[in-house]
Amino acid sequence: MTGNAGRRPAEIFGYPVRNRADAAEAARRLHQCPFRGQVCDKKSRLIDFPFGVCSVEYNNEVRAICPRRFEERGSLPGVSRVLEDIAVHYFGSTDNTVVFPEVRLPRVGNIDYVIVRHEPMKYTVDDFVAVEFQSDSTTDTGRLVQGIQDFLAGRDVLEESYRFGMNTYDSIKRAITQLMNKGMVYEAWDTKCYWVIQEYIYSDLVRRYGFKRDGFAAEHASRFALYNIVPDQDRLALAPTRFVSTSVDEVYHAMRNNRALPPKDAFVRDLNNKLQLSLRVNG
């Protein structure tokens, strides 16, 4: 980890905050995203330069807060290691594959990436697989903005802790909606989609909605490609952990029968307390 347990930027413009090498300093000076090879396009109304925090350290765990963080390069030119991992898992290799970003799915939305395998030396689709990236987001983001301002001003943030929070519930709500809507299309088409998220987010799905903890079935249209972010020499790197699969029916069943639903009695007690306070004030 980058410092003592706490909350702080983990990567700024693609490099860990402890990395002060020339390449890291150049990326920060030019506001470059090394994962895309372009200027960072993440914005905050609180600063007049790109909000280049790729990931945060949150209570001793590195969490991606920008989907571009999953663009970390692999061995193929211009292709992320995540897409390579998925191509190998689904097709068996990266041979005869082409990656298309931001592909329109009519009446549903956009797909982050579609990996197409074509017939050798032909312009004919042999098979394809969809890929979606889902990062997390923060609350009280102004505190995190202070962190990047402090860092760029030369302050050592490794021993600081900034009181921002994680908005994982909102990230999950958006992902669940897409998982259901797009999952129905992929099941009707008899094709597959990989949802790229970090392990802790999947653990939240298990805890919050009753998703199964593990298991993979080749017939399932929806697959989770799970990753952690770990130290790797002078950088942080994506580390694949496992694949878990599911279906629209399994998701619906898990949510419909979730034992973690809030108890009605506790809710009514809270309403009684509010009612008592209201009647006292207005009586």
What pLDDT, in 10s, does the model give residues 241-261?
999 999 999 999 998 888 777
Give me the mean pLDDT over the 180-189 stretch: 96
How far apart, in whole angstroms, are the C-alpha atoms of residue 278 and residue 260?
Answer: 30
Q: What is the pLDDT of residue 59?
A: 85
Six-digit token string for 33: 């995203």
Residues 8 and 164: beta-carbon distance below 8 Å: no
263 DSSP 8-state letter: P
What pLDDT, in 10s, does the model give residues 100-156?
999 999 999 999 999 999 999 889 999 999 999 999 999 999 999 999 999 999 999
70 DSSP 8-state letter: G
What pLDDT, in 10s, does the model give residues 190-236?
999 999 999 999 999 999 888 999 999 999 999 999 999 999 999 99
Six-digit token string for 237: 């790197």
How far apart, in whole angstroms, are the C-alpha atoms of residue 183 and residue 186?
Answer: 5
Q: What is the pLDDT of residue 113?
A: 97
Determine what percent of the chain is predicted with pLDDT higher than 90.
85
What pLDDT, in 10s, does the model give residues 55-84?
999 988 999 999 999 999 988 888 899 999
The predicted model scores a pTM of 0.91
Sign for the pseudo-dihedral over CA of 74, 182, 126, 116: negative
What pLDDT, in 10s, does the model give residues 34-52?
999 999 999 999 999 999 9
pLDDT tier at 283, thresholds 50, 70, 90 = low
Residues 136 and 200: beta-carbon distance below 8 Å: no
Question: How confident is the prediction for the chain on average, in pLDDT?
Answer: 94
How far apart, in whole angstroms, are the C-alpha atoms of residue 183 and residue 180?
Answer: 5
Give me the mean pLDDT over the 173-189 stretch: 93
Residues 115 and 127: beta-carbon distance below 8 Å: no
Residue 14: pLDDT above 70?
yes
244 DSSP 8-state letter: E
Residues 17 and 2: beta-carbon distance below 8 Å: yes
Helices (H), the chain: 22-30, 81-91, 141-152, 168-189, 199-209, 248-256, 264-282
Q: DSSP states of 195-225 as a string? A: EEEEHHHHHHHHHHH---SS---TT-SEEEE
Q: What is the pLDDT of residue 258?
A: 81
93 DSSP 8-state letter: S
Angle (CA) 32 100 219, round 5° = 120
Q: What is the pLDDT of residue 4?
A: 61
